Amino acid sequence: DTGVSQNPRHKITKRGQNVTFRCDPISEHNRLYWYRQTLGQGPEFLTYFQNEAQLEKSRLLSDRFSAERPKGSFSTLEIQRTEQGDSAMYLCASSSGTGSINQPQHFGDGTRLSIL
Amino acid sequence: ILNVEQSPQSLHVQEGDSTNFTCSFPSSNFYALHWYRWETAKSPEALFVMTLNGDEKKKGRISATLNTKEGYSYLYIKGSQPEDSATYLCAFTANNDMRFGAGTRLTVKP
């Protein structure tokens, strides 16, 4: 299967710990997106990359959050000093395209984070 | 960028019924409007991306229209089937931001 792959599927950790998630996009896609989704809400945009460049970062993303895509392929999202409010589903998506975000995105199955 | 609103929040229909729901978005600074279908325990699946006022897209029994001047899009499902049961999300993009609505949860009863 050459879809978007996210690891791990589930992560349970204690408050204050750091966590890192990985996303492997569809190989020919130059764009990669991170979203956070909580119950009853649509996905909230966090950040996105075009190749290795991080083009936009939501103001929702505090300085405890950082994302990288060092070689323009896979990406990691790290949350430092986790808080209970960070409990959510973290979704990754990829697409082709340049300019505005006007290509369909292909989503992974997400990483569900639970903070104890 | 202002919020994207979807209505209704949920919808229950009988198999064979046709149905539609609405996505409202800011009419200024428009770049694209996306529709996704999200089944439970699966990942969101792209249905349509529309960029031009008056666009109409169709995929099987599902179709969508776009009015960028008044800031709304309709999604139609003709002859609903139980496998259409899912949450339908719309998302509005303006330059480098993408904003999803909370979705319409559709349940189709056999």
CA distance B59 to B61: 6
Q: Which residue of B has its CA nearest to A48?
A: B96
Predicted pLDDT at B2: 64
Nearest to A107 among B43, B94, B98 (CB): B43
Higher pLDDT residue, B28 or A22?
A: A22
pLDDT of residue B4: 94
B→A contacts (Cβ < 8 Å), by residue, are 4, 31-32, 34, 36, 42-46, 48-49, 51, 89, 91, 93-103
Q: Max CA-CA distance within chain A? A: 40
* Listed residue (A63, A6, A66, A69) closest to A32, CA to CA: A69
Cα of B109 to nearest chain A Cα, Å: 22
Contact list in A for residue B91 (CB cut-off 8 A) is: 42-43
- Residues of chain B contacting residue A104, judged by C-beta atoms under 8 Å apart: 34, 46, 48-49
Subunit contact A45:B97, Cβ cutoff 8 A:
yes
Kindly give the confidence (pLDDT) of every residue in chain B, 110 residues in length, as a single tens digit, with 9 standing for 90 and above. Answer: 468 999 999 999 999 999 999 999 988 888 999 999 999 889 999 999 999 999 999 999 999 999 999 999 999 999 999 999 999 999 999 877 789 999 999 999 99
How near does any CA of chain B get to the CA of A79, in Å?
A: 21
The yes-or-no verdict on residue A87 having pLDDT over 90 is: yes
pLDDT of residue B17: 97
| Smallest CA–CA distance from B35 into chain A, residue | A104
Torsion sign, CA atoms B64, B62, B49, A89: positive
Are A73 and A4 within 8 A, CB to CB?
no
pLDDT tens sequence across A24-79: 999 999 999 999 999 889 999 999 999 999 887 787 678 899 999 998 899 999 99
Give the pLDDT confidence score for residue A8 in this predicted structure: 97
Q: In the structure encoding, which two tokens stand for residue A91, read together?
A: 């979704």
The pLDDT, as a whole number, for residue A109 is 95
Contact B98 A33 (CB under 8 A): yes
Compute the average pLDDT of residues A13-20: 97
